[in-house]
Structure 1
């Protein structure tokens, strides 16, 4: 036997026309990623029965579901389908806004064992969370949380008629050269940021029923966007906005070295807390400012992403 090599594990994705049904002759998109713990999550129960000899009499297999995280680096055009699933929406004129569509996909992991391969597939997968992390002088991280309905029996063969599209080749965004001026709307002077984290959470829930081993389905929860800005303390404007509970907006422009761009916009949000804190000798005074975006009637969304291909 040949031990599977982690650097050769292929992660591929295809959209499901019917949620929970793997397409018959799928055209898989091979995905770029850093690491993943996607798997079948097995649930067991150890009955708490009293026995005179103090032994455990049974361990019960009670269910299966699919869950995990996929850690990636953000690059233009690579994850547009995943973003649409997370936003429960469609790109329209290169703009994506959160909506209420139910969108699922099938994921496939291929593990190579020399001359043979193992295929693990997961169906009815929904994109539930995305953690975006921008830190000075680092690549932009995009880490996804997914949950699915189930997984067919592992096999050593591809799906008959399946094809695979090569991964994208666009450069990874970095938080140094690729981030434009971050605009904090509603604040007289936008503070300079050391780091910015955002979490998009679809609050998908798992629905279980009697007589069924896998989840019956998923329920769609409220679309929530939260995060934290780590800013330098240069003036009182942002701090006053915190104290006054003002409405502010945040625009994050990202442009890669080829000229492709995303503009992430949260037009209406609240700065939930924060204040200047001394960090000791030889360090700048900073503010860690948690925030939450909420519905903006003008844009008819909580968050939007606008994409532009390099001219």
Structure 2
């Protein structure tokens, strides 16, 4: 009997035209990931019947949902569908803004047993959040947190299914492939040591009598948050935090020309930041958490431009 290897796992996805409905002859796209997976979560309750023999009479299933995440290294022309789903928007002339769309995917994870395969298909998968991390002298990495409706198992592909190869663009590093990183709101420029960014959708299940599964997902507000870690170089930087100031945060990331992304938080409000004076062998640092709020000029809280030169 052959065992499955995690190194041989294949992850693919296809957009759904209706929530939880896999296209009849799906054109899957392979997804580049570094870790993570989806899984079913069963909700159960214990029978409370009182019996003289003290035995529990049954454990009852009351719900079934899908949750999980995929980790990735950011590369050009690779995650556009999931980035758009995270912002619940659509690319228009290569510009994406947060919106109110309701995209969903069917995601398929395949494990090979040395000649036979196990297919886990997850219907009604939505992106609950997207995170990015840009640490100095490291790769630019991220994660998509996902929620789904149901997992089904199979041993063969969907009839007529095709699988498009993933892009082969090079992953970006924060050392060599981040350009024009700027933080507004002060006179002294910010020299950033690390930056993190997250876009969250506050998804929730919509459960109903008569089914174990969610009917769809409800969504809360678009939460654009992050943290800037920078060297302390001027009072006006910390004063902007004390004054509850704001400024635009923008950075371009990517390796190949015409396949880079420019991320723009047009109005980032500086939150409860802190100055860290450090010790004998430390640099004085400034940590600034921020929240992207509605900007009337762009009509958005976050904007992403792709295919940047």
TM-score (norm 2): 0.96
Is the Cα contact below 8 Å between 2:76 and 2:256 reproduced in 1? no
1:31-50 superposed Cα distances (whole Å, 9 cap, x missing partner):
10011131111111223454
Counterpart of 2:299? 300
Q: 2-side partners of 1:243 and 1:49: how far apart?
A: 59
- When structure 1 is superposed on structure 2, of 125-134 and 248-257 the one drifting more is 248-257
Q: 1-side partners of 2:289 and 2:78: how far apart?
A: 29
State the secondary structure of the residue aligned to 2:275. Answer: coil
Q: 2-side partners of 1:162 and 1:45: how far apart?
A: 39
Quote the offset at 1:247 in angstroms: 2.2
Counterpart of 1:39? 39
Counterpart of 1:107? 107
Quote the offset at 1:258 in angstroms: 4.7
Structure 1: gaps (5+ residues): none
- When structure 1 is superposed on structure 2, of 189-198 and 42-51 the one drifting more is 42-51
Quote the offset at 1:77 in angstroms: 0.9
Q: 2-side partners of 1:90 and 1:2: how far apart?
A: 43
Structure 2: gaps (5+ residues): none
Quote the offset at 1:151 in angstroms: 2.1
Distance 1:192 1:158, change over 3 A: same
Quote the offset at 1:255 in angstroms: 3.1
Is the Cα contact below 8 Å between 2:273 and 2:287 reproduced in 1? yes
1:208-255 superposed Cα distances (whole Å, 9 cap, x missing partner):
011111112211211111111111111112211111112211001113
Is the Cα contact below 8 Å between 1:182 and 1:190 reproduced in 2? no
Counterpart of 2:230? 231
Quote the offset at 1:194 in angstroms: 1.1
Counterpart of 2:197? 198
Distance 1:51 1:229, change over 3 A: farther
Aligned length: 309
Q: 2-side partners of 1:298 and 1:141: how far apart?
A: 30
Counterpart of 2:245? 246
Is the Cα contact below 8 Å between 2:10 and 2:110 reproduced in 1? yes
Q: How does 1:1-311 map to 2 (within 5 A)?
A: 1-152=1-152, 154-258=153-257, 260-308=259-307, 310=309
1:162-203 superposed Cα distances (whole Å, 9 cap, x missing partner):
000011100101110011132112221221111111111011
- What is the RMSD computed on CA atoms of the aligned residues? 1.4
Q: 1-side partners of 2:164 and 2:271: how far apart?
A: 44
State the secondary structure of the residue aligned to 1:2. Answer: coil
- When structure 1 is superposed on structure 2, of 258-267 and 94-103 the one drifting more is 258-267
Is the Cα contact below 8 Å between 1:38 and 1:66 reproduced in 2? yes
